[in-house]
Structure 1
Amino acid sequence: MKIQQLVETYLNIKFKRGVQPAPWGVFQYSWDEDDCAELSFVGEPEESFTSWMYDLQPRDAHYVASPDWQPVLAGRFHQVDVYDELILYYLLFTINSTLTIRPTNAYNAMNDRMKSHSFFQMSHCSAASRMSEEQKHQLRDFFFFFYLYAHPVNEDTLYACSFHEQRLVHTTTNISLEHYFAAFHDHYSEHCDQYRDDLIINPDDIQASKHLTLELLRIIEGKSSPLHMPSEEGLEAVVQMINNVDLMLQLYEDNTSALFEIMRDFLAENRSTLYRDHCFTTLLQNYVCYILHFKFDEIHTLVDYFGSTPTWCGVIINKMFTDTIFIQRILRLKQIDINAYPDVIAFFGEEARSIYLS
């Protein structure tokens, strides 16, 4: 079964689309007492894709004056020290938690939104033919930063990796994450008896975990086919723009108002569901990341178009500026002063004002 089907299952559960989830190989979604939906093992439903390795977490050498132990994979990766080993474990855990669904609240909703958006877009930006290679690299780094930042991870982990073409490496050691994660799983599946006090799942499940981890990593590295969001009645145009970045960029270049008309039609329908709201937010954040990221002054065109319907203009501006902090980082990276855009500020609500004007 393709990873696309698993991602659709994730979206169906997360946004309560009423589609019954089916098992995916050795995995199935299950719920815990905190109403968190996680991938668990069909053969070990009490163990999850993220938790199977909890007891294998390396000791934190930061709390020891002189660490006197070696990394588990020291024989294979001589350049890895005990500090690197812990960071690589955190990175593995972060990737494995990508498809975990946790209840959101006022404190974690933005991070949840940014991590899932960044993960989805890393499968798209490398394949966008209407962007230069430099633009693709900038966006890939941008999304990967937020994918980790929004998890969240500590600062050491946030800056631990870099892209070498379409390959993520641990910068300090120059070790490919793909090679390290594969060796990690192989070690524990081959020495399962040695770790029987720390492992519940069997070697076959560990190997299945390896293949899923590497599939998720391929998406992050931009090696997979672009992920698609499922469409539904009334969302066809919005989802089409989301699933085909090149088409969105072409439409904007050839007929800018046509993209805005899709936004206007969505708002005119005035029907809200979790999935509809998610799709509209995704389209707006794609407009931010693929268009404003490189030509921020294009925001004047949007304000001019929606100026005759100030309520809708306010909805769009405030969602772009407060659903994520993508724009905040763009302004900082490009050294743009938002005060130079009074036509935009005029539509700021209280939250946007507190973030950008305080």
Structure 2
Amino acid sequence: MARSIRSEVVDPNDVQISHVISRTTRACWLFGDDPISGKNYDYRKVWIEEYLKRFAAGFGIDLLSYVILSNHFHLMLRSRPDVVATWDDTEVARRWLLICPERKDAEGNPMTPSQSELDRIRQSPEKLAEIRVRLSNISWWMRLLNQQIAQRANKEDETTGHFFEQRFKAIPLVDEEAVLACSVYVDLNLIRACIAETVELSDHSSGQLRVEVVQAAQQAPHGDSKASADGATQAADPQARRGDAFLSPVNLHEGTAPAGPQPSKTNARCSDKGFLAMSEEEYLELLDWSARHLAPGKRGSTPEGHPPILERLGLSPTLWLSLVADFGSLFSTIAGRPERLDAQRTKQTGRRFYVPKQARDLFGQAA
């Protein structure tokens, strides 16, 4: 089946969540122990996390979940043109120069933009308008991310050519079930691959970061601002922020959160808007529950019953575990319940999306 044109499913002018996957060329393990070269490139996973933090602080895009493996990585990204619309011209120029700096310090970090650098963007209406669109465009996030990783790795290896396998893959997530299942799928990737036994041991993943922060909050004295529930620290020292401050909060806080785009109160991420109708603790409990069922032979007893969130979504435990285990093969172009996908149309031609028979059968059995 021919791959879809990305503009048919991804529109930077819409608030949209996508599951993004990028693989190294020829599936070489260029982020881990590469059996071909005999070299270990685990440290490059740290590179990617550094770039993710910088991009989350600069782009008008929320980073919801991520995991980095030895030959590919998964991201869940939410484009936020509504947040970009709240930024003035100076903020747009500043953020772009944070992502694509004209000057760097001795360690390669972006230097504070000068007034002349800002003016070159602010005083050019066409350029300014173009950059506004780029800042909420997932394709530009991935283009620059992969470009910077590839250039750095090729320079280190003293080689040239493709580092990543063709283009990245982006799959829109159209409903709450797809968003939740995809996030769990991403955070459990290392467990599914038999690389880690638990979420807290899943290095270079959003799941591990969220566990560490929750554990730190439970151990911190009551009222410690560094472990505030919404992830937006009030501490003056930027280094005192939560370890997951660049990630989107989990909880949408439906009914209590303010209306509108909710631009972030910190410089670590685009917005303070969550993406799931559950608390961070509930999400981590669901991760652990799912991991125990997906990892045969794992020590510990399975909790009786099933998590309340599954009841609220109308998902049986069997359907849920199949969704998480087979998410990548069930949804190759767009993800969601089949009846909701049937109502969707491509952005350019207005055609219906193809829904694999396996996905229709799975949801049909659960009906």
Give the TM interval when normalised to the shorter protein.
under 0.3
Q: What is the TM-score with the length of structure 2 in the denominator?
A: 0.24
Higher helix share goes to which structure? 1
Structure with greater contact order relative to length (CA < 8 Å, sep ≥ 6): 2
Which of structures 1 and 2 has the bigger CA Rg?
1
